[in-house]
Structure 1
Amino acid sequence: MLKNEWTEKGYINEPIAEGTDLKAEIRRMCEEKNAVIMAHYYTQGEIQNIADFIGDSLALARKAAETDARIIVMCGVHFMAETCKILSPEKLVLVPDLNAGCSLADSCKAADLKKYKDEHPGYKVVSYVNTTAAVKALTDVVVTSGNARQIVDTFPKDEKIIFGPDYNLGSYINSVTGRNMLLWNGGCHVHERFSVSEIMRLKENHPSAKILAHPECKGPVLAVADVVGSTAVLLKYAVESSDNEFIVATEAGILHEMTRKCPDKRFIPVPPEISEGWASCSCNECEYMKMNTLEKIYNTLKYEWPSVDVDKDIAEDAVKPIKKMLELS
């Protein structure tokens, strides 16, 4: 009966004994079961603190391909767990909550992409890592926000390319490479909520602050940014910069690692645009990333469920563009 309830919920909701030291028990089970916890920068700080490895999508993909652990617990969103399973099919890949999806991945269905490919013969497909395994299987090479420009530059200048699903990232890559890739009209609901007006409001109060922005943000936001880059690039800049104050336009979870590495610097999260009804929020968060909790990690390790599997035929096709990305970056 419990198993059916867990299956319907997509996570294990079994009560945990009062007084349980979740962090200590999670680390104990990791050692006992030969498990590693991987966490994205957008998860809660307490999860990043207990993880074996934290990083952006590219770093997590590399780690998944390298680890010799029996179990990978992916604290992020569903497509990240799929990528882990594709790169390490022999491993048990667990997710704390199967409901942790991605609005960007949802914006590009495999059937729709296949139809679009058929309508544009002769085009190469460059897909953002924020996609399902089925979409990756239709792709020539996968990219992340950190290596998209580098990988696109490996194609001949006259190559016909379909780039998806993030329109804003694709538009940014077009602008810095001089290309004219066909762009899929998809977007991240978190990064699309940032606005120039909110950034300028913060800039008025913090005139010396550098503006850091993720390339999933809209073009006008990127135009006012001092630095545009992936979470890893923005983190590296903050650490190495002589500046002490930063306005950060990406998911607020990255501020945990920024603050940990630069305790003497100030990081100011950009809130969602007021006109969209988010005026009461002081920062912009991904509700899917925040579905990961210590309680769910504890239970998923204890019961080794829920796990993520990928259809064998899809995985065989999807692994090729992922490996090509890892070779090129």
Structure 2
Amino acid sequence: MALLPDNEQHAKQIEAGTTGRNRGHKFEKLLTDDLNSLDWSLVKMPSQKAEHLVTGHPAVELVRYIAQRKQLSDIKAVRAWWVGGLATSGQGDTLTDEEGNPITKCKSDVVIEIRHAGGVCKTGVSVKTCSKKTPTNAQLYFTTASRFCQFLRENGIPVTQEAESALRMFCGDPGYRPLDNPDSLIGRKSDPERFFWEELPPAGLAELERIFTEYQDEITQLLLQKAYHSDPYPPEFVLHQTVKYSDMKQCTIALFTVEELVRLSRQYNGFHKRPYYVRKGRFKGDPNEHQAPRSGFVQFQRGGQKQHPTQLQFNLQAGYFHKI
């Protein structure tokens, strides 16, 4: 459902978000069109091992990467469907599951079918894009604190109500904010609409940090693969357009299987906290050092946007593919 703006500034924020999504969808659609239009009998697949970070034609490099990771030989044909816009804008190709039901939501942005010497391989691809000259954060998941806790429970990761309440304080849900308790505002120079990570109740905070430490791999994989119930094509691969390009055939991309990205994220770092100060906005005079939680390549924070102020936002940190 389209958001109704409260004022001109809010309208511009909504427009910026829509523009960003449309720009990402455009790349997904171009990639899908190239996958479907190339004559794969004439495409030469380099024999050397496909690296994670490459510059070339995204469609060719993606198929090469999938073929090498799945050990497919003699590529005969490729068929692709763009499904990235189905959930956000209702736009995309018609694709059905194995029972013939039309797909309306899918965590994958592109579903690709490769016919090869050994048969047919069908797999999902998550596509991340960047329209800047330098890498930016890539969103993984955007939801409420309560829905995220329920998401973990549904996937076998226990979360107590105490930990959920602490996460709701971090996001600034109504009833869980400093401004909901006048005593909490006495002498406070920090944002009164949310509690910072280091301010959370000790027991709830300890449990959250234990969960993100103990279940780091599982949570990273869930963020990359899961979003919708009964998704028939959760992504097995990630293709990340790393920076703005001028020629689609010479585009720099990062490629991973989801399992590779989960493993590399953990190898890079475990759960940790990065100290920071509030340097801009209404509370730039806040003198306190705060803590930003991180988990490998994944960072998360309160959304804070005008249209979604209390959402919990998970991102792949900018330039993670250069930190392998």
TM-score by length of 1: 0.24
TM-score by length of 2: 0.25
Question: Which protein has greater RCO, CA pairs closer than 8 Å, 6+ apart?
Answer: 1
Higher helix share: 1
Higher strand share: 2
